[in-house]
């Protein structure tokens, strides 16, 4: 089960990098909701609308996910990981990290993400580079 969820997490991130709404929509539960870093509840429809243009390689120069942790409790799973990104905004390059917790439920033999919650990470709590699972530079997966 953990391998299946690890693969779903990789797909989740790849869907973000490629702005792939149909593939991403397929892994979301019908009642999906996102909790933004600012604490806003984002509906499934609004979330998918943002997903279509959320990643821009001219704006997000570097992106990785790291420190992946998966726990399964029967038909519920918590998938936690941290993203590091280097972004350009108004000509200024900024490095930051956010931790996400994706809650999955298993229904009819398939895992579906019912909630994603994103939390900013303070520099003192940044997971080390040794925990990187996958990284992208200007939208390209790195070996």
Mean pLDDT split into 10-residue runs, the chain, 143 residues? 93 95 96 97 96 94 98 98 95 96 96 98 98 97 94
CB-based contacts of 98, cutoff 8 Å, min separation 6: 37, 82, 83, 85, 118, 119, 120, 121
The pair of structure tokens assigned to 106 is 């298993």
Domain around 126: 2-141
Q: Closest by alpha carbon to 138, among 78, 79, 60?
A: 60
Q: Which pLDDT value is given to residue 96?
A: 96
Q: How far apart are CA 104 and CA 89, in angstroms?
A: 33
Contact 132, 64 (CB under 8 A): yes
The pair of structure tokens assigned to 139 is 């939208």
CATH number of the domain within which 13 lies: 3.10.450.50
pTM of the model as a whole: 0.93
Q: Which pLDDT value is given to residue 121?
A: 98
The answer for 74, left when phi > 0, alpha when psi is -120 to 50, beta otherwise, is left
Q: Which pLDDT value is given to residue 1?
A: 74
Alpha helices in the chain (DSSP H): 2-18, 21-25, 44-51
Number of domains in the chain: 1
């Amino acid at each position: 089960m953990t391998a299946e969820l690890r693969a779903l997490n990789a797909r989740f991130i790849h869907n973000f990098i490629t702005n792939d709404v149909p593939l991403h929509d397929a892994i979301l539960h019908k009642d999906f909701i996102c909790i933004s870093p600012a604490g806003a509840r984002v509906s499934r429809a609004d979330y998918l609308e943002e997903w279509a243009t959320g990643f821009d390689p001219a704006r997000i120069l570097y992106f990785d996910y790291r420190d992946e942790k998966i726990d399964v409790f029967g038909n519920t799973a918590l998938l936690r990981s941290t993203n590091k990104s280097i972004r350009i905004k108004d000509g200024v390059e900024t490095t930051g990290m956010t931790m996400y917790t994706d809650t999955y439920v298993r229904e009819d033999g398939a895992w579906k993400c019912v909630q994603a919650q994103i939390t900013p990470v303070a520099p003192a709590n940044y997971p080390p580079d040794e925990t990187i699972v996958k990284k992208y530079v200007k939208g390209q997966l790195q070996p």
